[in-house]
Amino acid sequence: MLDLWIMRLGHRPSRDKRVTTHVALSARALGAKGILVSTKDGPLETNIRSVVERFGGDFAIETGIDWRRRLMDFEGTVVHLTMYGMHIDDAIPKIPEGPLLVVVGAEKVPAEVYQRADLNVAVGNQPHSEIAAMAIFLDRFTDGEGLRRQMEGKLRIVPNERGKTVVEISR
Q: Is 102 in the site for ligand SAM (CB under 6 A)?
A: no
Q: How near is the Cβ of 154 to ligand SAM at its closest, in Å?
A: 33
Determine contact, residues 46/24, Cβ cutoff 8 Å: no
Count other C-beta atoms under 10 Å from residue 3's C-beta: 12
> Interacting stretch for ligand SAM, rule CB under 6 A, among 59-67, 102-110, 141-149, 156-164?
102-110
* Helix or strand (DSSP H, E) at 130: helix 130-141
Candidates 37, 44, 78, 122; binder of ligand SAM (CB under 6 A) is 122
The one segment of 21-29, 45-53, 105-113, 141-149 that binds ligand SAM by CB under 6 A? 105-113
Q: Which amino acid is at 111?
A: A
In the bound state with ligand SAM, the residue whose beta carbon lies nearer, of 52 and 79, is 79
Could you say whether residue 109 binds ligand SAM (CB under 6 A)?
yes
15 binds ligand SAM (CB under 6 A): no
Q: Which residues contact 105 (CB under 8 A, 6 or more apart)?
A: 9, 10, 81, 82, 113, 130
With CB under 6 A as the contact rule, the residue among 30, 133, 135, 138 that binds ligand SAM is: 133
- The Cα–Cα gap between 95 and 70 comes to 20
Q: According to the binding rule CB under 6 A, does residue 81 interact with ligand SAM?
A: yes
Q: What are phi and psi of 81, to 5 degrees?
A: -85, 120
